[in-house]
Amino acid sequence: MKAVILKDISKKFILAHQRERLSKGVFSSVQGKKVSTEFWALKDINMEIDQGKVIGVIGRNGAGKTTLLNLLAGIATPTTGKIEICGRVSSLLTLGAGFQDELTGEENIYLNSSIIGMGRNEINKKYQSIVEFSELDGFLDSPLHTYSQGMRLRLGFSIAAHMDFDILLTDEILSVGDVSFQKKCFDKIEEFKKQNRTMIITSHDIDTINRICDEIFLLENGQIVQRGGFEKVSARYLELLKENSLPATFRQRYGKTKWWADKRSWEKKEGSKEIRIVEVKTFNAHGKQTNIFKENETVRLEARFIAEQEVQASHFGVAIFREDGAYCYGPNTLFDNQPIEKVSRGEGFFSIEYKSLSLRPGDYRFSAAVWDSTELWAYDYHVGFYKFKILGDNKHAQLLNLRYSWEQLSPGRKFSIFPFTESGGNLDPEYKLSDQIVPCDLRISTVQLLDALGNPRVDFDTGDDLKIKIEIEFLKSPHNYYLWVGIFRSDDIYCHGASRKLKEKVNILHYPGLPLLTGDYYLSVGVWEKDRKEPLVYQYKISNFKIVFSGQDHGTVYLEHVWKWQLPFCND
Q: What is the pLDDT along the chain (572 residues), one digit of tens a residue?
A: 899 999 999 999 886 555 444 443 333 344 445 556 778 999 999 999 999 999 999 888 788 888 998 899 888 899 999 999 998 887 766 555 668 888 999 998 998 888 777 889 999 999 999 999 888 888 999 998 888 777 887 888 888 788 888 898 887 665 555 566 777 777 788 888 888 889 998 877 676 787 788 899 999 989 999 999 887 888 788 777 655 544 443 334 434 467 888 788 899 888 888 999 999 999 999 999 999 999 999 999 999 999 999 998 899 999 999 999 999 999 999 999 998 888 999 999 999 999 999 999 999 999 999 998 777 778 999 999 999 999 999 988 999 999 999 986 654 444 444 433 333 335 677 777 777 777 677 888 889 999 999 999 999 999 999 999 999 988 777 778 899 999 999 989 999 999 998 888 899 999 999 999 999 999 999 998 877 778 888 898 999 999 999 888 889 999 999 999 999 875 55
CB 427 within 8 A of CB 421: yes
Count CB atoms within 10 A of the CB of residue 73: 18
Same domain, 78 and 224: yes
Q: How far apart are CA 465 and CA 104, in angstroms?
A: 66
Same domain, 529 and 435: yes
Same domain, 387 and 410: no
Same domain, 217 and 318: no
Q: What is the DSSP string of 200-261?
A: EEE-S-HHHHHHH-SEEEEEETTEEEEEESHHHHHHHHHHHHHHTT--HHHHGGGSSS--B-
Q: Does residue 7 sit within a domain? A: no
Same domain, 201 and 333: no
Domain that includes residue 425, residue range: 405-553
What was the pLDDT predicted at 425?
Answer: 37
Q: How far apart are CA 294 and CA 243, in angstroms?
A: 41
From 432, 441, 450, select the one nearest 510 (Cα to Cα): 450
Instruction: Please calculate the CA angle 86-91-95 and round it to the nearest 5 degrees.
Output: 175
Amino acid at 331: P
Which CATH number characterizes residue 107's domain?
3.40.50.300
Domain count of the fold of the chain: 3
| Residue 203 Ramachandran class (φ > 0 left, ψ -120 to 50 alpha, else beta) | beta
Beta strands in 258-396, from DSSP E residues, in sequence order = 268-270, 275-283, 292-293, 299-307, 311-322, 327-330, 340-343, 346-354, 362-372, 378-390
Q: How far apart are CA 433 and CA 483, in angstroms?
A: 18
Q: How far apart are CA 109 and CA 96, in angstroms?
A: 9
Which CATH number characterizes residue 289's domain?
2.70.50.60
Q: How far apart are CA 471 and CA 139, in angstroms?
A: 73
Radius of gyration, CA atoms only, the chain? 29
Q: Does residue 351 sit within a domain? A: yes
Q: How far apart are CA 197 and CA 96, in angstroms?
A: 23
Same domain, 422 and 373: no
Number of residues assigned to the chain: 572
Q: Does residue 22 sit within a domain? A: no
Amino acid at 115: I
Same domain, 209 and 81: yes
What was the pLDDT predicted at 509?
Answer: 95
221, 252, 283 - which closes a domain: 252
199, 230, 252 - which closes a domain: 252
State how far the alpha carbon of 107 is from the alpha carbons of 122, 131, 135, in Å: 15, 12, 16
From 488, 557, 483, 490, select the one nearest 517 (Cα to Cα): 557
Question: What is the dihedral sign for C-alpha 247, 249, 254, 255?
Answer: positive
Q: Does residue 39 sit within a domain? A: no
Q: What is the DSSP string of 478-494?
A: -TTEEEEEEEEETT--E
From 31, 93, 94, 101, select the one nearest 68 (Cα to Cα): 93
What was the pLDDT predicted at 162?
Answer: 86
Count CB atoms within 10 A of the CB of residue 232: 13
Residue 157, SS3? helix
Q: Does residue 151 sit within a domain? A: yes
Count CB atoms within 10 A of the CB of residue 67: 21
Count CB atoms within 10 A of the CB of residue 439: 5
Q: How far apart are CA 438 and CA 487, in angstroms?
A: 23
252, 286, 314 - which closes a domain: 252
What was the pLDDT predicted at 175?
Answer: 56
Residues near 172 by beta carbon (within 8 Å), at least 6 away in sequence: 202, 203, 204
Same domain, 456 and 532: yes
Residues near 567 by beta carbon (within 8 Å), at least 6 away in sequence: 340, 342, 343, 344, 348
Same domain, 307 and 448: no
Q: Does residue 245 sit within a domain? A: yes
Q: Does residue 272 sit within a domain? A: yes
Same domain, 387 and 495: no
Same domain, 222 and 155: yes
Q: How far apart are CA 95 and CA 134, in angstroms?
A: 13
Beta strands in 490-533, from DSSP E residues, in sequence order = 494-501, 506-511, 519-529
Same domain, 483 and 535: yes
